[in-house]
Amino acid sequence: MKDFDYAAPTSVQDATTLLAEYGERARMLAGGTDIIVQLREGLRDAEMVIDIKKISELMALEYSAEAGLTLGAGVPCYQVYENAEISAAYPALADSTRIIGGWQIQARASVGGNLCNSSPAADTIPSLISLGASCRIAGPQGEREVAVSDFCTAPGRNILETGELLVSIQLPPSTAHSGSAYERFIPRNEMDIAVVGAGSWVQLDESGSTIQEARISLAAVGPTPIVAQQAAESLAGQEASEENLAAAAGLAREAASPIDDMRGTTEYRVHLVGVLVKRTLARAVARARGES
């Protein structure tokens, strides 16, 4: 690895000051499971590596039924899925964090880091988007909030400006009769990057038979995670039937614009979008009904 300096600031202020000074020459270090690989392989450069794990706001994990979830940017994946309350409230996020790269990776890797790495194939982002998550960002000019769906701009790039730092991810309180799910397709059963990923969230009515609202998001089928807006809107006010879910899955396919690469062909990925959206919608509906 090329040489770099290391700092472990203990406040958001100190971190943003360092970031402002180093700009593109600094990289953030949370779990390290992406950045260390990238530094070692020369895919990303750094003169300064800023470890955020000593900043308490970034390591905070706070949940209440009333306020929702505050997920500090550096909180490792395992703390999400091992928390029964959080897993019950946000099952899609539990799904995602449980399957990222094996136990050793989950012990370190953070959802915030997964988001900031901004890979189009990131497993947590479709879940965050479908759960309506937003980012709390701190910078030299102060704080701002950005919807996760607006965060990624291109493969590996996002809306963070020079000096800015992701502090935490906010998830709104979970509502009754809602459910979510994330699934990805990989050739093996673990340790692969998603060929396609789908995160779905549904809000059912009290009877559990009608979908009031849905959100669907896709991984690995575009330059950024994709919001399948049309597909989601098509479900509003619809019966949560197999046919309707399948129809929405069909619409979701149209939102996808995958490339051909060694992980999958365009044709195969488009097809898988339909399969996974159908499956995650069905699981989300089942969870919303309290079935699984």
Partner 1 sequence: MSSGNGNYRVLGTRPRRHDGAEKVTGSAIYANDVQLPGLLTGFVLRSPHPHARIRSIDTSEAEATEGVFAVISGKDFPEVADKVADLGEGSVNLSYLSGNVMAKGKVLYKGHAVAAVAAVNIHVAEEAASKIKIDYEVLPSVTWVLDAMADDAPLLHENLFTDHMGEKDEKPSNTAVHMHFEKGNIEEGFAAADVIVEREFKTATVHQGYIEPHVSVADWTTSGRLKIWTATQGAFTARQQTAEVLQIPISDVVVTPCEIGGGFGGKIAVYLEPVTALLSKKSGRPVRISMTRAGVFEGTGPTPGSFMRVKIGATSDGKLVAGEAWLAYDAGAYPGGMIGPGCMCVFSCYDIEHAVVDGYDVCMNKPHTQAYRAPGATQVAFACEQVVDEIAEQLGICKLEIRQLNAAKEGMRRVDGPVYPRIGLVECLDAVAQSDHWKSPLEGENRGRGIAAGFWFGCGLKSSVSASVNHDGTVNLTEGSPDIGGTRTSIAMQLAEVLGIDTFDVIPQVVDTDSVGYTDVTGGSRVTFATGLAAYEAGLDLQRQMAGRAADLWECSADDISVVEGEFKGPDKSASFKELAQELFKDGEPLVARASVAPDCSTNGFAVHIADVEVDPETGKVTILRYTAIQDAGKAIHPSYVEGQMQGGAVQGIGWALNEEYFFNDNDTMDNASFLDYRMPTMLDVPMIDTIIVEVANPDHPYGVRGVGEPPIVPPPAAIANAISEATTTRFFELPMSPPKVWKGLSETS
Partner 2 sequence: MAKTVLVTTTINGESTEFLCKPRESLLEILRDTLGMTGSKEGCNNGNCGACTVLIDGLPVDSCLVLGVEVEGVEITTIEGIADVGQLDPVQDCFLDGAALQCGICTPGFIVTARALLDKKPDADEQTIRFDLSGNLCRCTGYDKIVRAIQAVQESN
Where does this chain bind partner 1 (CB under 8 A)? 1-3, 102, 185, 187-193, 195, 261-265, 267-268, 271-272, 275
Nearest distance, CB of residue 282 and partner 1, angstroms: 13
- Nearer of residues 212 and 266 to partner 1, judged by Cβ: 266
Measured from the CB atom, the residue of 189 and 207 that comes closer to partner 1 is: 189
Query: What would the x/- binding string for partner 2 be over residues 240 to 269, using CB under 8 A?
Result: ------------------------------
Residue 6 interface partner, choices partner 1, partner 2, none, CB cut-off 5-8 Å depending on type: partner 2
Q: How far is CA 224 from CA 70, 91, 176, 250, 282, in A?
A: 24, 23, 31, 20, 25
Question: Of the ranges 45-53, 83-91, 136-144, 215-223, which one interacts with partner 2 (CB under 8 A)?
Answer: 45-53
Neighbours of 141 (CB within 10 A): 10
Taking the complex as a whole, the smallest distance from the CB of residue 18 to partner 2 amounts, in Å, to 14
Contact 93, 127 (CB under 8 A): yes
Shortest spacing between CB 116 and partner 2, in angstroms: 16
Pairing verdict, β 142-147 and 26-29: unpaired
Amino acid symbol at 211: I
What's the rounded Cα separation, in Å, for the pair 196 and 274?
Answer: 10
- Binding partner at 25 among partner 1, partner 2, none, C-beta below 5 to 8 Å by kind: none
Give the count of residues interacting with partner 2 (CB under 8 A): 29
103 binds, among partner 1, partner 2, none (CB under 5 to 8 A by kind): partner 2
Are the C-beta atoms of residues 91 and 149 closer than 8 Å to each other? no
Asked if 102 and 33 count as a contact pair (C-beta separation under 8 A), the reply is no
Of 23, 102, 140, 173, which one interacts with partner 2 (CB under 8 A)?
102
User: In the bound complex, what is the minimum distance in angstroms from residue 133's beta carbon to partner 2?
Assistant: 25
- The H-or-E segment that residue 170 falls in is strand 165-171
* Cα separations in angstroms, 220 against 65, 77, 137, 168: 32, 20, 25, 24
53 is a contact residue toward partner 2 (CB under 8 A): yes
Contact 81, 187 (CB under 8 A): no
